[in-house]
Amino acid sequence: MKGSVKSFSLIPISFCFLFLFRDEFAVPARHLCHPQQREAILEFKNEFQIQKPCSGWTVSWVNNSDCCSWDGIACDATFGDVIELNLGGNCIHGELNSKNTILKLQSLPFLETLNLAGNYFN
């Protein structure tokens, strides 16, 4: 036929595009922290006192049950395990009892980074 325009469907092309670039558009899965790890972090924090006045962010931890969203906490994106505990410069003071501290931190088996710098430990 003279002058006819061949038409094609954009639907298969759209599916191919979405399939090829699905990782670019996907929302990463968000994992909540494990309850036993949350409790271990709170117990560790409660071993000490926060010196006032302080703008320490651990004060806000109790308002949210997901420790992976807490300031100073980093979790593994795949499994939700706590991998970083950053308490640096948080006006924490008290006695650092190694036996109790180690027992609390044993509930964080994937912990890679622990920052306690800039606090006031005995």
pLDDT grade for 115, boundaries at 50, 70 and 90: very high
pLDDT at 28: 47
- pLDDT of 9-26, one tens digit each? 666 665 555 555 554 544
Dist. CA 66–CA 71, nearest whole Å: 11
Domain boundaries, the chain: 35-121
Q: How far apart are CA 22 and CA 52, in angstroms?
A: 49
| Class (C level, CATH) for 35-121 | alpha beta
- Closest by alpha carbon to 81, among 56, 59, 46, 113? 113
pLDDT in tens, 29-52: 455 788 899 888 888 888 888 777
Residue 74, pLDDT score: 93
Name 94's bridge partners. Answer: 121
The pLDDT confidence band at residue 122, using thresholds 50, 70 and 90, is confident
